[in-house]
Amino acid sequence: MTRNVIIAGVGGQGILTIASIIDMAAMHAGLKVKQAEVHGMSQRGGEVQSHLRISDKEIYSDLIPLGQADLILAVEPMEALRYVPYLSENGAIVTCSEPFVNIPNYPDTQDIYSELKKAAKDVILVDASAIARQLGNPKSYNIVMLGAAAKYTGIDNADYEWSIKELFGKKGQEIVDLNIKAFYNK
Amino acid sequence: MNEQLLLGAEAVATAAIDAGISGVYAYPGTPSTEITEFIQKSKDARQRNVRAKWSANEKTAYEAALGMSYAGKRSLVCMKHVGLNVAADAYINSAVTGVNGGMVVVVADDPSMHSSQNEQDTRVYGKFALLPLLEPSNQQEAYDIVRYAFDYSEEIKLPVVLRLTTRISHSRAVVKRAPMSDMNSLNPDTDKRKWILLPANARNQYAALVDKQSVLTANSENSIFNKVIEGTSSKAVIAFGIAFNYVMEVKERENLDISVLKVSQYPLPHKQIAEFLSKYDDILIAEEGYPVYEELLRGFSDNEKLRGRLDGALPRMGELNPDHLAKALGVDMPEIAVASSIIVNRPPALCKGCSHRDLFESLTAAMSEYEHKHVFSDIGCYTLGALKPFEAISTCVDMGASITMAKGAAEAGVAPAVAVIGDSTFTHSGMTGLLDCVNDKTPVTVIISDNATTAMTGGQDSSGTNKLYDICKGLGVEPEHIVTFVPLKSNLEANIEMIKKELDYDGVSVILACRECVQVAARNKKNKA
């Protein structure tokens, strides 16, 4: 079993939180992990991505080859579109629908949605911020996204629950529960 | 916990702590910053009282690490590739003195220039100084190699260089620790002939260094970090450092019957390479960085069996990836989706509320009346003032160059000659240039955009915090021309007037534009809560 996941967003949106929950869940499931991330200048509102690879065999490359990603998990729709060349034939795209507009020439949002729908068979757009607000924890939009994409990662929900408890346990049971609610989107 | 998911940088840090270092010395620089940050936060390092504060620049860091080694203790010094240029004087000469306590020099290169001004390859510096250099291919090897490097440094009495590249430094994998070593006790070196590099001593020391080269090569020949994976065809790859991963990725996926020689310890294992070269007809040289060894192995008359970056089999510039290797190894590439044409770039930008924004607004307004609008800038977040909507700076070359380039331009007749430099960059390499200006009474306006941190690399402590006025005064800038303002919207008009006044002054002015970095302010607030 090998899964290649591109996690994409804009610097400051917190994609590394998603990555670290997947990392921990994969390790808890006894799998090997490699996860390349972006530090430095791009973190100042630029495009950022993480290459996350999970496998039961040895993983060599820190980078995912083109056309080999099983999943693009994005917290911003244009950033999801940016990495489509990495997507495999049967790969899925799960992305926040809400655009993050910090540039003057941001394209039309409807055009982005229609391009996304052309790019893969499985395309899931999630209004994660609205869902997170409804669930009473606006900050948990990342976890809402992770929950929506979890089935494509090949890791059991039980491992994700364990991982969320590990990450948020220090902040108390209430925060853990809110994030588990966000993960299941209910 | 014996096994942890660590960045390559953190694997290096963990190994250095476990190897019993007494201190780490560094100036922040992507992709090396996380090594020192990890040691600063490490419980093990705190328990052992490992010295871990930031240094003013890479040269001061390097020399302090060398001093710790002189005293008999183990030291680590870390920098990004261009930082080694700053430390180069100490670096090259430390190969001549040699060391006492084990000393490891970590240099993190940034091929593709994700956060850098060039993509220089530290392996060239390894050869230049005649020092052994190690280049891990994965995070576990980074750990193992650092443990080995400290022992090796003490065995051969030389600093040992560890070269990382962005993708290994900033990628995570599981790393297994080995038992911790004891720290060295104080045991200063008393051999003055070794440490006083008067020409007579230096010649002897240099001869000894040249003599040691055969020992270093012999150690590379037997290194566990250099190895051959045998195939049965006539095709082969010599893969250096992380390039090994990309080759193996393609070899396993495509079931390629090729032989691979992995090189992670330098100087080159001469015999091992010669033997490998003689065995195969078609050999790809895969190096992350410059084609340093491809050039050497091709030789003056060229070796037609070899392919690599120099003949276009691999790209001449930039970091490698598995797709480059697949193409070079003749793998049929599946059809790859083309990225949609509606996607636009999203360049990095100054944060909302950043003090540099207000500074650039006031500076641009103050300079609007002048025919020439030359602003010499420097390395830091404020370099983003080059982009829209500011387009407020004319240059960014190297740490500290804003002040000295403004000086030279002023002397050529540019007026006003304005420098914009950050607080951390100023104490790194700007102070000496300011002294030159004072001594020559050069008409320059130096604006120190002081956000009290080293912001671009993530908000590390800045050496000059609360000291900048005194430093400028001490360097001889006239006190009435060291002015301070707070770059805020509400102060815009007043700040424009202050800048104009100093632009008109026919001498050295310093403007301290002081307001805390918004990222650091937010982090401090969060930590307090």
For B347-375, what is each residue's pLDDT tens digit?
Answer: 889 999 999 999 999 999 999 999 989 99
| Domain-located, residue B421 | yes
- Single residue among B312, B328, B344 that ends a domain in this structure: B328
Number of CB pairs, chain A paired with chain B, less than 8 A apart: 146
Q: What is the pLDDT of residue A186?
A: 67
Same domain, B42 and B160: yes
> Per residue in B405-424, pLDDT tens?
999 999 999 999 999 999 99
| pTM listed for this prediction | 0.96
> Per residue in B79-130, pLDDT tens?
999 999 999 999 999 999 999 999 999 999 999 999 999 999 999 999 999 9
CA A54, distance to chain mean position in Å, is 14
- Single residue among B162, B194, B221 that ends a domain in this structure: B221
Which token pair is B223? 């290194």
User: In this complex, do B337 and A33 lie within 8 Å of one another by their Cβ atoms?
Assistant: no
Q: What is the pLDDT of residue B266?
A: 98
Same domain, B17 and B32: yes
Q: What is the pLDDT of residue B334?
A: 82
Same domain, B216 and B232: no
Q: What is the pLDDT of residue A40?
A: 75
Residues of chain A found within 8 Å of residue B388, distances taken between Cβ atoms: 104
Same domain, B119 and B201: yes
Q: What is the pLDDT of residue B493?
A: 98
| Domain-located, residue B336 | no
Same domain, B205 and B244: no
Pairing of strands B171-176, A32-36: antiparallel
Residue-averaged pLDDT of chain B: 97
- Say yes or no: A38 contacts chain B, CB-CB below 8 A: yes
| Residues whose CB falls within 8 Å of the CB of residue B286, separated by 6 or more in sequence, listed in order | B237, B238, B239, B240, B243, B244, B246, B247, B308, B314, B320, B325, B328
- Single residue among B203, B221, B239 that ends a domain in this structure: B221
- CATH number of the domain that residue B120 is part of: 3.40.50.970
| Domain-located, residue B348 | no
Helix (H) or strand (E) holding B433: helix B431-440
Same domain, B406 and B442: yes
Smallest Cβ distance to A44: which of B242, B252, B348?
B348
User: In this complex, do A66 and B242 lie within 8 Å of one another by their Cβ atoms?
Assistant: no
Same domain, B149 and B246: no
Range of the domain at B85: 3-221
Contact yes or no for B194/B203 (Cβ under 8 A):
no
- Say yes or no: B326 contacts chain A, CB-CB below 8 A: yes
Longest dimension (CA), chain A: 45
Residues of chain A found within 8 Å of residue B246, distances taken between Cβ atoms: 60-61, 63
Backbone angles phi, psi at A87, to 5 degrees: -75, 140
CB proximity under 8 Å: B 8-47 to A: 30-31, 33-34
| Domain-located, residue B347 | no
- CATH number of the domain that residue B293 is part of: 3.40.50.11610
- Name the residue among B176, B240, B242 with its Cα closest to residue B15: B176
Same domain, B231 and B217: no
Instruction: Find the residue in A nearest to B383 (Cα).
Output: A41
> Per residue in B129-157, pLDDT tens?
999 999 999 999 999 999 999 999 999 99
The secondary structure of B332-349, three-state, reads CCCCCCCCCCCCCCCCCC
- Say yes or no: A56 contacts chain B, CB-CB below 8 A: no
| Residuewise pLDDT in 10s, chain A (186 residues) | 999 999 999 988 889 999 999 999 999 999 999 999 988 777 778 999 999 999 999 999 999 999 999 999 999 999 999 999 999 999 999 999 999 999 999 999 999 999 999 999 999 999 999 999 999 989 899 999 999 999 999 999 999 999 999 999 999 999 999 999 999 986
Residue B335 — very low, low, confident or very high, per pLDDT cuts 50/70/90?
confident
Same domain, B152 and B262: no
| Domain-located, residue B111 | yes
| Domain-located, residue B342 | no
Q: What is the pLDDT of residue A133?
A: 94
User: In this complex, do A60 and B245 lie within 8 Å of one another by their Cβ atoms?
Assistant: yes
Domains recognised in chain A with CATH numbers: 2-98+117-184 (3.40.920.10)
Same domain, B405 and B266: no
- Name the residue among B95, B102, B50 with its Cα closest to residue B72: B102
Of chain B, the percentage scoring pLDDT greater than 70 comes to 100
| Domain-located, residue B339 | no
Backbone angles phi, psi at A106, to 5 degrees: -60, 130
| Residues whose CB falls within 8 Å of the CB of residue B484, separated by 6 or more in sequence, listed in order | B469, B511, B512, B513, B514
Residue B1 — very low, low, confident or very high, per pLDDT cuts 50/70/90?
low
Instruction: Find the residue in A nearest to B251 (Cα).
Output: A60
Same domain, B399 and B497: yes
- How many structural domains does chain B have? 3
Q: What is the ipTM of this complex?
A: 0.95
> Per residue in B488-510, pLDDT tens?
999 999 999 999 999 999 999 99
CA distance A97 to A83: 16
- Say yes or no: B336 contacts chain A, CB-CB below 8 A: yes
Same domain, B51 and B196: yes
User: In this complex, do B381 and A44 lie within 8 Å of one another by their Cβ atoms?
Assistant: yes
Smallest Cβ distance to B344: which of A11, A27, A107?
A107
CA distance A63 to A6: 10
pLDDT at residue B443 is higher than 90: yes
Residue-averaged pLDDT of chain A: 95
